[in-house]
Structure 1
Amino acid sequence: MCGRFVVASAGSDLVGVLRVDVEGDDLPEPSYNVAPTAQVAIVLDSVKEELPVRRLESARWGLVPGWAKDVKIGARAFNARSEELEGKPMFRSALEKRRAVVPTSGYYEWKTVDGAKIPHYIHPADGSPLFMAGLYEWWRDTSKADDDPSRWLLSFTILTRDSIGRLGSIHDRMPLFLDPDHADAWLDPTTDNVRDVLDAAIDAAPALADTLDDHVVSRAVGNVRNNSPELIEPVDD
């Protein structure tokens, strides 16, 4: 699973290789302890115009489908198992039409050792962005007026798969990582073979996972109120 992550950069510094066309006006600041329900910058290909426009937009972590009665449902939908998407009404429509990339600097995972949970920070060894596959949805708040700009909520979930290699010794699930080429294919709203694209990303993820480093960090990361660069610094086990 992925329940906390880091975004140490903002704007174009975060997604240069994805060639974003438009950056939103309200992008969140960098964060060293992103938790579900927080606002996060995601990449999506909008099809409002004749040709898709790649956008970097602020979105709430935790998918809220259009049919939901309120946003509370999103608190339970911050991850989605990639092998179960077609069978879940929560995610099925987004898989077909609304795919996203979540750019991060790395993420936290907790390893259980002798009954104690030890937090690890997992990240690219070279400091490059770590892209995760996601799905997004728009939800309309019917209690707000048509001219209220806050009536629409953009939200997202992060896909996961079985962990492999060293990461499997930390936790049995990991985010579905994407290299830039698979990220382009994943974002393409015109594709008619989504499962093929997803399976290709799943197959490629282990090689990308092998390039990641990890180290133990402070248990302070467990408190969402803590948010500073010190959280990703290594500590003794």
Structure 2
Amino acid sequence: MCGRFVVGSSGSELVGVLRVDVVGDALPEPSYNVAPTDRVAIVLDSAKTEPPTRRLEAARWGLVPSWAKDVGIGAKAINARSEEVEDKPMFRQALIARRAIIPASGYFEWKTEDGAKTPYYVHPADDAPLFFAGLYEWWKDPAKAPDDPARWVLSFTIMTREAVGQLGSIHARMPLFIDADYADVWLDPTTENVGDLLDATVDAAPALVDGLLLREVGSAVGNVRNNGPELIAPVS
């Protein structure tokens, strides 16, 4: 799974890498301890235009489907298992037409041995951005006025799959990684063969694991109030 991750650079630096057309307002600052319900920058293709417009927007971590009664449901949907999304009402419609990419510098995972949990930081060896395949939704807050800009909440979930290679030694699950060159295919909201698209993305993910490094870090990352580059420093 993925319960904490790092965004060490501003989202605007990704405009060229993922060929973003529109950059949203008030993008979040870099964070070394992104936790569920935090806001980060995600990339999506909006189908409101023809062709779709690629946008970099601030979104809340934890998917809130349009039919939800309140935003709190998102805390239970920070991850979506790739083998289940086609059948789960929480994710089914987003998979069809609202796929996203969540850029990160790396993520944290905890290895459990003899009842003790040890945190590790997983990141690309060349410090290039790491991309997670995800899903997004827009939710309308019925408690807010129609003209209130905060009425619409953009949220997302990070997809996961069975861990492979060195990552399998830490945890049974890993984020569904996606290559930047595959972004156009994954984000395209007009894709019809969504099942085939998902299968191809899941099958391609293991090849990206070889380019990752993992190192043990301190327990301070376990506290969401802690935030700073010291969280990714190796244990001496």
On whether the aligned pair clears a TM of 0.5, the verdict is: yes
- 2:141 aligned with 1:141: yes
State yes or no: 1:195 paired with 2:195. yes
8 Å Cα contact 1:58-1:154 kept in structure 2:
yes
1:150 partner SS: helix
Runs of at least 4 residues off by over 4 Å: none
Give 3-state SS (helix, strand or coil) of 1:83's partner. coil
Equivalents in 1 of 2:16, 2:173: separation in Å? 28
1:19 corresponds to: 19
CA distance in 1 between partners of 2:148 and 2:159 (Å): 31
* Separation in 2, partners of 1:11, 1:111: 29
Provide the rounded CA distance (Å) in 1 between the counterparts of 2:45 and 2:93.
Answer: 16
Counterpart contact for 1:8–1:105, Cα < 8 Å: yes
Q: Which moved further from structure 2: 82-91 or 110-119? A: 110-119
Gaps of 5+ in 2: none
* Structure with greater helix share of residues: 1
Q: Secondary structure at the match of 1:87?
A: coil
Shift in Å at residue 180 of structure 1?
Answer: 1.2
User: For the residues of structure 2 that align with 1:3 and 1:9, how far apart are their CA atoms?
Assistant: 19
Q: Determine helix, strand or coil for the equivalent of 2:60.
A: strand
The 1:14/1:235 distance shift into structure 2, 3 A limit, reads: farther
Q: 2:47: which partner in 1?
A: 47
Q: Name the CA distance, whole Å, in 2 between partners of 1:62 and 1:120.
A: 22
Q: Give the aligned partner of residue 160 of structure 1.
A: 160
Q: SS at the partner of 1:157?
A: strand
Query: Which amino acid is the alignment partner of residue 125 of structure 1?
Result: A
How far did residue 88 of structure 1 move? 0.3
Q: Whole-Å Cα distance in 2 between the matches of residues 16 and 102 of structure 1?
A: 15
Shift of 1:50: 2.2
- Residue 48 of structure 1 and its aligned partner are, at CA, apart by 1.3
Percent identity between matched residues is: 73
Report the CA distance between 1:132 and its aligned residue.
Answer: 0.3
Q: Residue 15 of structure 1: CA displacement?
A: 4.8
Query: 2:52 is aligned with what amino acid?
Result: P
Taking the aligned partners of 1:204 and 1:53, their CA distance within structure 2 comes to 26
Judging changes above 3 Å, is the alpha-carbon distance between structure 1 residues 218 and 15 closer, same or farther for their aligned structure 2 residues?
Answer: farther
CA distance in 1, matches of 2:126, 2:179: 14
Find the counterpart in structure 1 of residue 213 from structure 2: 213
1:106-148 CA-partner distances (Å, limit 9, x unpaired): 0000001222100000000000000000000000011111111
- For residues 178-204 of structure 1, give each alpha carbon's deviation from its aligned partner in whole angstroms, at most 9, with x where no partner exists: 001222211011111111111111111
What displacement does 1:222 show? Answer: 0.1
Letter of the aligned partner of 1:118 in structure 2?
A: T
CA RMSD across the alignment:
0.9
Gaps of 5+ in 1: none
Task: Provide TM-score, normalisation by structure 1.
Answer: 0.98
Q: CA deviation at 1:34?
A: 0.1
CA distance in 2, matches of 1:5, 1:14: 17
Aligned ranges for residues 10-159 of structure 1 at < 5 Å? Answer: 10-159=10-159
Q: Please, what TM-score do these two structures have when normalized by structure 2?
A: 0.98
Tell me which amino acid in the other structure corresponds to 1:187: L
Partners of 1:11 and 1:161 in 2: CA distance: 25
**SS of the counterpart of 1:67?**
coil
